[in-house]
Structure 1
Amino acid sequence: MEKRAHTYPTLRPEHEARVEGYACIAGVDEAGRGPLAGPVVAGAVILPPGCAVPAGLDDSKKLTPVRRERLFAELLESSGVVHGVGLATVEEIDRINILKATHLAMARAVEALGVAVDFCLIDGLPVPGFPYLHRAIVKGDSISLSIAAASILAKVTRDHMMEEADREYPLYGFAKHKGYGTKQHLEALLRHGPCPLHRRSFGPVAQLELPFV
């Protein structure tokens, strides 16, 4: 079977939105919906015409950790790029559910941009009740450069948070698995019980019925 060539995201979705009359367009994506521990984090990025777009931007899941870190630093330093981060806490995830918490984090990321956003390009499905006009793009982080940039911003920001959490709660290996339900993580949960960073509403944690350590 012939291997399909890798295609990179472009600014076409942003251009199409500008043709429709929108001037300030933000790409939005999240990281951390699936883990058993830690917040869900969203990134929002505006790539205005003429800004210095880092070379090699792509869906964060397709990048090595080293390339993600490099692109993350370049996004923060690039002239003209506007970026914002929002999160929903473990407590909010448990109280309102992970889907609503993800949407809340996305709205907070757009607000954190600090500018008047006309339109958002969001990775995935439409977001009911989102406080900004938006278009949802399935696999948008592989299609839109601003969504790809947002995916890197969200992923690396969350990874850094989980690495910091590892120093506070060293029994679980957060720096390695970032809160996902790996074999190492599940074994640590069984051995030590959950810590305050664990999502009590998620099955593998709720089933333990153990107090926080």
Structure 2
Amino acid sequence: MDMSQFEADNTKNCMIESTLPEIVKSEPCWLGIDEAGRGPVLGPMVYGVCFSPLSFREKFGEMGFADSKTLTEEEREGIFEKICASSDMMAWIVELLSPTFISNGMLGRSKYNLNAISHDCAIRLVQRALELGANIAEVYVDTVGDPEKYQAKLKNIFPNIQITVAKKADALYPIVSAASICAKVCRDRALSKWQFQEKITVNDEGYGSGYPGDPKTKRFLSDSMDKVFGFPQFVRFGWSTASVMLQKSAVGVQWDDDEEEEDKDSVKLTSFFQKKGHDPKLDRHSYFSDRCLSSVDSF
């Protein structure tokens, strides 16, 4: 797994893929989708897909795949090596979603919540497999949000593929378990090789699992927080764990109120650039312009 592109700039998303054996192009395949790192306050979230011919389904199930969360790091690495060694019958793709991207999406003016981020990433990975020439006939994915709505959404985008969205899909379908392992191994490696652009030094105990309840993670957050500039980009600012800590411990900032009531006799500079007779009350709200929405005169 060549992670050099992400290591060179971990503020940007990065997609990594294995080579595709010809058999996944010629035979109909099943494809599993799963993620690693949805809950942590630290590091990237990683989505992975794994796909293999349906004719190998029974053999595939004998390889000992399991939900990555039930395995040790050593066990996950061992199974990932098996996946790579079976490059004649399967392929995988992962996408790392940087914590910077997640924070910007969740805190931006037009909110991009984690469910929408997850859905879009899963869709991108299926589309990428198809672009590479994989003959995808069936897709299995662990649900994010309502399973029926998610399944309908995917079916609308991929009408020629059989879609199955299920809770605990990583425990039900070996192909999803394999995707889970690919995603988790990728995230573990990203965390272990993380380059802090802020040049901070991490103490010997590290930063733990990244989950908000981990004492090591809490200590890392406390130690790495700058009272003026906040946290390093390794941290997801949109998580309540981070925002509460900033509210309690960071330096308070008083912003000038742009909406402050002005003197009734004063003239705004922008009024000189408006058309004669222009009524600012008739301007469209930014909600519509941000989303490129326009009025429809007729149906």
TM alignment of 1:114-153, pairs within 5 A: 114=132, 115-125=134-144, 126=147, 127=150, 129-130=153-154, 131-132=157-158, 133=161, 134-153=163-182
Q: Which of 111, 118, 125 matches 1:102?
A: 118
Partner residue, 1:183: 215
Q: 1:25 to 1:66 in 2, by over 3 A?
A: same
Q: Is residue 203 from structure 1 mapped to residue 240 from structure 2 by the alignment?
A: yes
Which whole-Å deviations, capped at 9, do the CAs of 1:58-110 have from their partners, x for residues lacking one?
11111121111010111122021121112322233221122222223322332
Partner residue, 1:72: 80
Any conservation in 2 of the 1:123–1:138 contact (CA below 8 Å)? yes
Give, in whole Å, the separation in 1 of the partners of 2:141 and 2:39: 18
Partner residue, 1:85: 94
Q: SS of the residue aligned with 1:208? A: helix
Which residue identity is paired with 1:55?
Answer: M
Give, in whole Å, the separation in 2 of the partners of 1:99 and 1:174: 32
Q: SS of the residue aligned with 1:201? A: coil
Say which one has the larger Rg. Answer: 2
Q: SS of the residue aligned with 1:30? A: strand
Partner residue, 1:19: none
The runs of 5 or more residues in structure 2 that have no matched partner are 1-26, 106-111, 226-230, 252-299
Any conservation in 1 of the 2:141–2:169 contact (CA below 8 Å)? yes
Give, in whole Å, the separation in 1 of the partners of 2:179 and 2:206: 22
Q: 1:172 to 1:29 in 2, by over 3 A?
A: farther
Q: Is residue 42 from structure 1 mapped to residue 47 from structure 2 by the alignment?
A: yes
Q: SS of the residue aligned with 1:191? A: helix
Any conservation in 2 of the 1:87–1:106 contact (CA below 8 Å)? no
Give, in whole Å, the separation in 2 of the partners of 1:31 and 1:173: 25
Any conservation in 2 of the 1:47–1:80 contact (CA below 8 Å)? yes
- Two-structure CA RMSD over aligned residues (Å): 2.7
Q: How many residues align?
A: 190
Single out whichever of 65-74 and 80-89 deviates more from structure 2: 80-89
Q: SS of the residue aligned with 1:155? A: helix
Q: SS of the residue aligned with 1:47? A: strand
Partner residue, 1:8: none
Give, in whole Å, the separation in 2 of the partners of 1:174 and 1:129: 43
Q: 1:108 to 1:178 in 2, by over 3 A?
A: farther
Which residue identity is paired with 1:36?
Answer: V
Q: 1:184 to 1:166 in 2, by over 3 A?
A: farther
Any conservation in 2 of the 1:58–1:148 contact (CA below 8 Å)? yes
Which residue identity is paired with 2:235?
Answer: H
Any conservation in 2 of the 1:84–1:111 contact (CA below 8 Å)? no
Identity of aligned residues (%): 25
Any conservation in 1 of the 2:170–2:177 contact (CA below 8 Å)? yes
